[in-house]
Amino acid sequence: MLIKHKKGWQETENSVTDESVYINRRTVMAGAAALGAAAVVPSALAQRDRVLAPLAARPTGYNSNESLTPEAAVTQYNNYYEFGTGKGDPFQNAWQLQPKPWSIVVDGLVDKAGTYALEDLIDFNALEDRIYRLRCVEAWSMVVPWIGVSLASVLKKIEPQSGAKYVRFETLADRAQMPGLRWPVLDWPYTEGLRLDEAMNDLTLLAVGLYGKEIPNQNGAPVRLVVPWKYGFKSIKSIVRITLTDTQPDTSWNISAPREYGFYSNVNPDVDHPRWSQKRERRIGEFGRRETLKFNGYGEMVADLYAGMDLRANY
Amino acid sequence: MSPLVPTTNQLRRVGKPIVFLAMLVPAVWLVWNWWLAFQYQPNGLGFNPQEASNRFTGDWALRFLLLSLAVTPFSTLVGSAKPVLFRRMIGLYAFFYVCLHITSYVWLDMLFDWMELWADVMKRIYITIGFAAFLLLVPVAVTSTKGWVKRLGARRWQRLHKAVYVIGLLAVVHFIMMRKGFQIEPLVYASILAVLLAFRWRKLMPARWLARA
C-alpha cells in the first residue's frame, strides 16, 4: 500500500481553493489583464517569437497544490535587466536572444573543466516537473511550473574538487543580443553564487522549461537557476559559465547595494529590505497581500543549511 | 501682433479649458482601467496593477510638477507673460496627481493598513522623503488663490511658494531612491530639474550671497 507522507511545504488537497471560486476571483482578473496586454502587442513581435517545443518531463513530489500563476503573467511580467528595467521590457526585447546553440564554460576547482554544449550538461531525458513558489525581493510572488534537472546532477558530472566551497554563475553579456547592457544598471555580466551545500540541495534546480515547453527567452533561456527559498534575483538566467571556487564569489546585486542584497538573500519575513517590508507579498493575480513564509515555505528542506547562523547578519 | 498668437482673453476662455481637459486625461485613463480591473475586464494596468498605478500616478505628479516649474523660464524665453496664465492650473494638477499617488498607495496597495503605513513612513527613507514633499505641497496648493496672495502679502506668499523648489528636489530624490540599481529614467527627471533650477539660481540665492560675489 502506498502511504503518502506530506511534507510541511506541501499544501493539503482541501486547502486548495475551489476551482470556480478561484476562476472567478483571481484568474479572471489576471487573465483579463493578460488579454489586455496581449491586445497591445504588435503582431510583428509575435512573428519574431521563438516557437517553444514541448518538453517531456516526469512528475515529482515537488508539486505544491497551489494555484499556478497564469502563463501569460509568468512570461510577460519579468525582471531581466539585460533586456530593460521595465517589467514588460524582457517580453518585448528578449526575442533578440539566440538560445540555440548554447554552450557553458565550466572552470575553477573541478576535475572536468571545459566548454560544454548545453545538451552535454543537462540530460534532456531526465527532466522533472517541479512546481515552486517564486518570491521576488520586490515583495511579489508567483507559483511556477518549471521543468529541469537538479543542479546537483550537473555538479556531479563536472566533479567538484575537494577544495571547492562555492559555485559562481554568470549570465550572457552580449550587447548585440541584450539591449539593456547599454545602461550601467549593474556591473555586467550578471553574476550570482551559492554555497556548495546550497547548490547540492535537491531543491536547487537548473530549469530549461516552463509550463510544459522550452523556457522562453525572457525567463532565462536556455538554462537558468531556480533556488526557491531565496529571493528571485539569486535564480540567475541564461547561464554561460559555472565556476567552482574556494572563496565566496562576488554577486551583482551585492556589489551594487551591499546593505540591501546579501550573499544569502534567503526569503525571510523577519528581515526587511532597507527600503521596504518583507513581511508580506503580493501573489500576482491576487488583490491583497499574503504573509511571506520563512525560506519561502521550504524551511523543512533547507533550514539545516543555516543552523547556528545569524540570519540577520547573513541576510 | 500676428493673428496666430492667441490673445490673453482667448487663452482664458478657450486655452484654459483645453489644457484643463488635457491634463485630466491620465487620471481618466487610470480610473477607467481600475474600473475595468474591478469588473475583471481586459485593462492596461498589467499583472501587478497596484505597482503600475503607484508608478503611473507618481510619474504624472512629477511631470506636472516639473512642467509648473518650467512655465516661468519659458515665459522669459518667449518674452511674454501669457504662459504664466497656466501656471497655477499646472501646479494644482501636480498636487492632484500627488493625491492620486497617495490614494493608490494607501488604499489600493496597502489597503489602509495604518500600522504598516506608519512603519513605512518612519522606516523607509524614500517614503519619508516622499511624504515630506507631500506635506510641503499642501500649504502651497491651499494658498494658490488670489485671496491668499492678498492675505499673506506678495512677498510672504512668494517666499512660501519657493518651497516648490525643495519639493521638486525631494520628489526627484524619492524617485531615484525607489529604483533598484543605477537607472536612467529618474536621472532624466533629475537633469530636467537641474536645468530648471539653473535658470533661477540668482533668485534662489539669498541676496547677501550675491552681494558678496
Give per-residue pLDDT as tens, A210-244. 999 999 999 999 999 999 999 999 999 999 999 99
Q: Residue A190: inside a domain, yes or no?
A: yes
Compare B59 and A32 and report the one with higher pLDDT: B59
Amino acid of residue B49: P
Question: For residue B39, what are the domain limits?
Answer: 8-205
Q: Residue A279: inside a domain, yes or no?
A: yes
- What span, in angstroms and rounded, lies between the C-alpha atoms of A65 and A74? 17
What global pTM score does this model have? 0.84
Number of domains forming the structure of chain A? 1
Q: Which residue of B has its CA nearest to A279?
A: B116
Check B119 against A76: CB less than 8 A apart. no
pLDDT score for B41: 84
Amino acid of residue A244: L
pLDDT score for A22: 46
Give how far B109 is from chain A: nearest CA, Å: 8
**Residue in A37, A275, A288 closest to B46 by CB:** A37
Question: For residue A30, what are the domain limits?
Answer: 16-306
- Output the nine-digit C-alpha cell for A191: 553574476
pLDDT score for A48: 66
- Say if strands A114-117 and A128-135 run parallel, antiparallel, or are unpaired: unpaired
Q: Residue B152: inside a domain, yes or no?
A: yes
Check B119 against A277: CB less than 8 A apart. yes
Task: Give CA separation, B207 vs B63, B157, B211, B212, in Å.
Answer: 30, 18, 6, 9
- What span, in angstroms and rounded, lies between the C-alpha atoms of A244 and A123? 21
Q: Residue A248: inside a domain, yes or no?
A: yes
**Burial classification of residue A33, based on how many CB atoms lie within 10 Å of its CB (0-12 exposed, 13-18 middle, 19 or more buried):** buried
Residue A146 near residue A132, CB atoms below 8 Å: yes
Q: Residue B212: inside a domain, yes or no?
A: no
- What span, in angstroms and rounded, lies between the C-alpha atoms of B87 and A272? 42
- What span, in angstroms and rounded, lies between the C-alpha atoms of A138 and A289? 13
The separation between CA B45 and the C-alpha centre of its own chain, rounded to angstroms, equals: 22
A28 falls in which pLDDT band (50, 70, 90)? very low
Helices (H), chain A: 19-22, 28-40, 43-48, 71-76, 89-93, 118-121, 151-158, 196-200, 252-256, 299-302
A278 CB-near residues (< 8 Å, 6+ apart): A137, A139, A267, A268, A269, A271, A272, A292
Contacts of B112 in chain A (CB under 8 A): none
Residue A70 near residue A34, CB atoms below 8 Å: yes
A120 CB-near residues (< 8 Å, 6+ apart): none
CA proximity to A199, closest of A281, A136, A108, A270: A108
Contacts of A40 in chain B (CB under 8 A): 44
Contacts of B47 in chain A (CB under 8 A): 30, 33-34, 37, 72-73, 76-77, 87, 284-285
CA proximity to A136, closest of A299, A273, A27: A273
Contacts of B50 in chain A (CB under 8 A): 282
- What span, in angstroms and rounded, lies between the C-alpha atoms of A176 and A97? 9
A27 falls in which pLDDT band (50, 70, 90)? very low
Q: Chains A and B: how many Cβ contacts under 8 Å?
A: 88
The helix/strand/coil state of A103 is strand
Compare A3 and A196 and report the one with higher pLDDT: A196
- What span, in angstroms and rounded, lies between the C-alpha atoms of A239 and A229? 20
Number of domains forming the structure of chain B? 1
pLDDT score for B2: 59
Check A282 against B48: CB less than 8 A apart. yes
Check A140 against B51: CB less than 8 A apart. yes
Contacts of B45 in chain A (CB under 8 A): 33, 36
CA proximity to A206, closest of A153, A251, A157: A153
pLDDT score for B74: 94
Contacts of B44 in chain A (CB under 8 A): 36-37, 40
CA angle A133, A222, A214 (to 5 degrees): 70
- What span, in angstroms and rounded, lies between the C-alpha atoms of B23 and A179? 33
**Residue in B46, B119, B182 closest to A33 by CB:** B46
Q: Which residue of A has its CA nearest to B125?
A: A275
Residues of chain B with pLDDT under 70: 1-3, 206-213
Positive or negative: CA dihedral B25, B30, B34, B36: positive
Q: Residue A1: inside a domain, yes or no?
A: no
Contacts of B42 in chain A (CB under 8 A): 32-33, 35-36, 39
Q: How many CA within 13 A on the CB side of residue A167?
A: 28
Instruction: Please tell me what DSSP assigns to residue A191.
Output: E
DSSP letter string over A106-152? EEESBSS-EEEEHHHHS-TTS-EEEEEEEE-TTSEEEEEEEEEEEHH
Q: Whole-angstrom distance between the N-terminal and C-terminal Cα of chain B?
A: 41
pLDDT score for A14: 53
The domain spanning residue A50 has which CATH number?
A: 3.90.420.10
> Which of B40, B47, B174 is the best mutation test for A, with the most CBs of A within 10 A?
B47
Amino acid of residue B113: D
**Residue in B47, B119, B126 closest to A77 by CB:** B47
> Which of B36, B180, B184 is the best mutation test for A, with the most CBs of A within 10 A?
B180
Give how far B89 is from chain A: nearest CA, Å: 31
Q: Which residue bears the cell 550537473?
A: A154
Check A34 against B47: CB less than 8 A apart. yes
Give how far B118 is from chain A: nearest CA, Å: 12
- What span, in angstroms and rounded, lies between the C-alpha atoms of A11 and B10? 68
**Residue in A32, A274, A284 closest to B42 by CB:** A32
Output the average pLDDT for chain A: 89
Q: Residue A58: inside a domain, yes or no?
A: yes
Q: Residue B211: inside a domain, yes or no?
A: no
| Region of poorest pLDDT, from A72-81, A107-116, B98-107, B180-189 | B180-189
Q: Which residues does residue A141 pair with via DSSP β-bridges, in sequence order?
A: A135, A283
Q: Residue B3: inside a domain, yes or no?
A: no
Q: Residue A5: inside a domain, yes or no?
A: no
ipTM above 0.85, yes or no: no
Q: Residue B155: inside a domain, yes or no?
A: yes
